[in-house]
Structures are given as C-alpha cells and as structure tokens.
Amino acid sequence: MSNKTFDLKQLPISITELLYSIQNEQEIVITNDNIPVARLTLLNPVAETKLPLEKTPQPGLNLGSMVMSDDFD
C-alpha cells in the first residue's frame, strides 16, 4: 500500500478524489503544519471484520439468585 501526504491548508483535491485514491489501495495522510491529523485507509470487507459471536444467554442459569420482596409495587 502506498502513502500520499497532503497538508490540510493546501489540500489540492476533493474528497471524491481522496476516496478514489483509497479504493486504489493507497493510504492518505492529512497533516496540519507537518503534524499528522488524519489517516484515510480502505476498510476491510465486512466478512473479515465480523466480531466473534458471543454465547447466547440461556434462560434459567441463575434461577433463584434474585429474590423480590412481597411488598414490591
């Protein structure tokens, strides 16, 4: 992946062109007075970024662990 760096004050291209560059496997770094303030990169496809599935809670696992007062309104 190649890098391109642009200064915020002298950004010569539009956001559309920046996004097109990202789709071509380029990373864009935007600086402000030579200090990096943003990095635009291509996101991984959704299939690669799925979070691991958590176990589904099972009803009745903590049966009796909570008691409610008889006068609860």
Q: Residue 49 and residue 43: Cα distance in Å, rounded?
A: 9
Q: Which domains does the chain have, with CATH numbers?
A: 2-43 (3.40.1620.10)
pLDDT score recorded for residue 62: 82
DSSP of 35-60, one letter per residue? EEEEEE-PPPPGGGSPPPPPPPPPTT
- pLDDT mean over 1-7: 76
- Are 27 and 1 within 8 A, CB to CB? yes
**pLDDT digits over 12-54, tens only?**
677 787 777 777 767 888 888 889 998 888 876 555 556 667 7
